[in-house]
Structure 1
């Protein structure tokens, strides 16, 4: 028997269906949802995100609730690429540029430029990354 790899699932509502893509609106909520005082707190937030997923021929209609599914390993990898590497670049860049006897301001600015260049490379590689982090739709 084949064992399925762990997945990350989010409920979403189909916003638009075209020949090439399906747009799904998901609502991200903070950890504040579990707090009893969330109604009185301005820190509680909900953010709508619109995902565009390639249309593989699944029959969905606008307004239908579906699951958006991604492999857990791809989710971890995306967090690593989006957050861990840039923080490491920033910290190591500041340390390196400071060791090279640059002024603190110059070290920080050069490190920020290094992070910006990293994000530019990620943007340039977005098509291959989209294939690696492919999401799929499951009907409920």
Structure 2
């Protein structure tokens, strides 16, 4: 995590910013409570993203080297391309996987059984995502932008 210059991100179109307040600071992590974001209204992935649905979302990130204070207003910044990749791995790929398994198993099994198999294939998929969560945390790094 790096503290980013506020002026350099005001004009960038390839980033997603979300305003939040630091709600908890521990030795290794900072917990940020997200506020409602007007940028979510123009986002194409709004229906798939859970951030725009509620104001009580919290995000934990590894504690950067900068010093932060409780109740400090910050911006979380994510590269737009990484946001789209996150939506792909969380929603699009599982749908494609489920659909392909449904098509393939319906060739060999009864329809109801093929439907059950296609639903149950999601269990190992999401378990694998859970096992690889540290890899995804490294890949989807959020940056903290301090307000001046």
Q: Shorter-chain TM-score category?
A: 0.7 to 0.9
TM-score computed with the length of structure 1 as normaliser = 0.80
Bigger share in strand? 1
**Alignment partner, residue 124 of structure 1:** 131
For residues 53-68 of structure 1, what are the structure 2 equivalents within 5 Å?
53-68=61-76
CA RMSD of aligned residues (A): 2.5
Q: Which has the larger radius of gyration?
A: 1
Of structures 1 and 2, the one scoring higher in RCO (CA 8 A, sep 6+) is: 2
> Which stretches in structure 2 are left out of the alignment for 5+ residues?
1-11, 42-52
**Alignment partner, residue 9 of structure 2:** none
Give the C-alpha shift of residue 28 in structure 1.
5.0
Partner of 1:89: helix, strand, or coil? helix
Partner of 1:10: helix, strand, or coil? strand
Give the C-alpha shift of residue 5 in structure 1.
8.1
CA distance in 1, matches of 2:82, 2:145: 17
Partner of 1:46: helix, strand, or coil? coil
Instruction: Return structure 1 stretches of 4+ with deviation > 6 angstroms.
Output: none
Contact 1:90 1:111 in 2 (8 A): yes
Instruction: Name the count of aligned residue pairs.
Output: 126
> Which stretches in structure 1 are left out of the alignment for 5+ residues?
34-44
TM-score computed with the length of structure 2 as normaliser = 0.76
CA distance in 1, matches of 2:140, 2:126: 17
**Alignment partner, residue 22 of structure 1:** 30
Give the C-alpha shift of residue 73 in structure 1.
1.4
CA distance in 1, matches of 2:83, 2:37: 17
Partner of 2:35: helix, strand, or coil? strand
CA distance in 2, matches of 1:122, 1:8: 23
Contact 2:21 2:35 in 1 (8 A): no
